[in-house]
Amino acid sequence: MRKSGILMHITSLPGPYGLGTMGKAAYDFVDFLAAAGQSLWQILPLNPTGYGDSPYQSCSAFAGNEYLIDLPTLQAEGLLEPGEPEGFSWGQNPGRADFGLLYQSRRKVLALACARFQPTEDYLAFCRENAHWLGDYALYRTLKDKSGGLPWYEWEEPLKRREPEALWQVRQSLREEMDFYKFIQYQFYRQWNALRQYAKEKGIEILGDVPIYVPLDSCEVWCNPELFQLDESLTPTAVAGCPPDAFSDDGQLWGNPLYRWERHKEDGYSWWIRRLSAAGRLYDGVRLDHFRGFESYWAVPYGDETAQNGKWEKGPGLDFISTIQKALPEISFVAEDLGLLTPEVLQLREDSGLPGMKVLQFAFDSREPSEYLPYRHVKNAVCYTGTHDNMTTAQWLREASEETVAYARAYMCLTEEEGLAWGVIRTAMGSVCDVCVVPLQDYLNLGGEARMNFPGTMTNANWTWRMAPGSCTPALAEKIYNLTALYGRLHETKEKISEAEGVENHEL
C-alpha cells in the first residue's frame, strides 16, 4: 500500500515551556497529519538526550525523555499548581530549545509534581511491568546525581562493578530519590500511550528510530558490561566510528563502545530483543540506524584521536536480523542504509527483506549515476527529500554545486512558479517507493536556519529547531492532501477531515 508521512520530532513543536511536548501541540499535529491525508508521523528517538543534547546518545535504551512530559497535563491532574511552571526560566527564543535551561528547570518543576503524587495501583503495575529496566535506570540516575554527574566508570569500585552488597545498601538509603525517577517514567509513558492511541484513532502510524550504539556512560553498559568490548578494568578496547572518506580525511570518531556480538548470539540476542520490544511499545515501525554496521563495522582502537587507524570487523549479519524479525513480527523495520554500501551490505538488506532509504538530495551528483535517482527506485523502500541530518531542501537548492542544482532542476522539472522545494516534494511523492516521508521544514520551505542536525559537529544549532506557532495551517494541510491524493498515497479508509475536526482552530 502506498502511503506518506511527515518527519517532525516532538521537541520541534511549539509550546510555552522550552520545547515541544506530548501536550496540546502534539495532538494538534496529529490532527494536521490526518487533515493532510498522511499515514505516518516519523520522529527521532524518544529516550533521554545525552552528549551534545543528541537523542542518539541516550543513557538508556528503555527510558523516555522527561523533557517531553507535558506540564499543563500535570496541572490538570492536580500535580502542579496554576502558574507554577511560569516560575521557571524556559528560554527567550521560542524558535530554539535551550537544553541547558531545560536541564535546570525541568527537574525542579517535576520534583514539585512528584512531591504531590500518591502512588496508585496503576503506578505500581507500571513498576512491576517494567522492573527489568526501571529499577536499574532509577538507581543509575540517582547515583549520577549523588556523584555530581560523574560517569559510572568513575564511581567507587563496588558501585562501578555492581557488587550486590553495595547496590543493596544504596537502594535502601536512596529509595526516595529513585522513586522520583520512577515517577518521571510513569508520567512519560502515561502521556505517550495516550498520544499514541489518539494517533492510532486518527489513522496515523508512528515511525521511530533506534540508534545502533549506546554511549559508554549509559545504564546499558553499566548493567551489561559483558555484552560490550571492555577489558578487565571496564575500559573499552575499541570504539565505533566511520573510516576516512571524501568528506573527512580523519573519518568520524563516535566513541561508542562496540558490541561483543558473539556473546549476544550465545543468548539469542536477548538484550536486543528486549531493547527492540521496548521500541515497539513506543512506535508502530522502527528505523534501524546505521544498518550497515550489522554487516560490518569500523572498529577504532580506544584512545585514538581520529578514526584513521580503525579496521572493518564483521557484524552479526542475517542471523541477527532474522532473529529479531522472528521474535518481533509485529514491528515493521526500516533499514537506514545510507553511507558506504558494499555489495555485502546490499545483500544483507535484500536477504532481510527490509525497505531501505532513497534520499533525493543524494541523487544528483553529476559525476556518476546515483542509486538514489528516482528511475532507480524500488517499491520496497522509503523515499525522502532529506532527513534530519541533511540540509533542508530549500537550503540544499541554494548551497549545492551549480552542476548538482542544474541536474536536479532539469530532472525534476523544477520551476519558480511551483516552488523549487515543492517540486522536489512532488518528485518524492511520485516515486515508485511504497512510502514517502518529507521533513516538515520542506513543506514550510525553510532554509538553513531550520536544519535539525549537522553530523560530526557540536553546535548550539543541533537538535534545537522549533516550528513557529501558526505554521501548520488548514491551507497547507489541504495542499499536502491534494498532492498525496494525486500520487495515490491516501490511506484507503481515510477521508478528509472536516475543518471542524481538523486544524482550523489549532495554534500550530
Active-site residue set: 289, 336, 389
Do residues 13 and 444 make contact, with C-beta atoms less than 8 angstroms apart? Answer: no
The sign of the torsion formed by the CA atoms of 157, 163, 167, 169 equals negative
Do residues 58 and 67 make contact, with C-beta atoms less than 8 angstroms apart? Answer: no
**Exposed (0-12), middle (13-18) or buried (19+): which is 259, by Cβ within 10 Å?**
buried
Do residues 374 and 487 make contact, with C-beta atoms less than 8 angstroms apart? Answer: no
Query: Could you give the CA distance from residue 147 to residue 63 in angstroms, rounded to a whole number?
Result: 21
Residue 165 DSSP one-character state: H
Do residues 224 and 231 make contact, with C-beta atoms less than 8 angstroms apart? Answer: no
Query: Which of 377, 351, 349 lies closest to 290, judged by CA?
Result: 349
**Distances from the Cα of 394 to the Cα of 297, 416, 469, angstroms:** 33, 12, 20
| Residue 411, SS3 per DSSP | helix
Query: Could you give the CA distance from residue 478 to residue 279 in angstroms, rounded to a whole number?
Result: 32
Please give the single-letter amino acid code of residue 53: D
Instruction: Look up residue 377 and give its three cell numbers.
Output: 527506485
For the beta sheet containing 205-210, the strands, ordered from the edge strand earlier in sequence to the opposite edge, are 332-335, 285-288, 205-210, 40-42, 3-7, 435-439, 381-384, 356-359
CA R_g for the chain: 23
Please name the helix (run of DSSP H) or strand (run of DSSP E) that holds residue 188, with its range, or none: helix 175-201
Query: Could you give the CA distance from residue 410 to residue 246 in angstroms, rounded to a whole number?
Result: 26
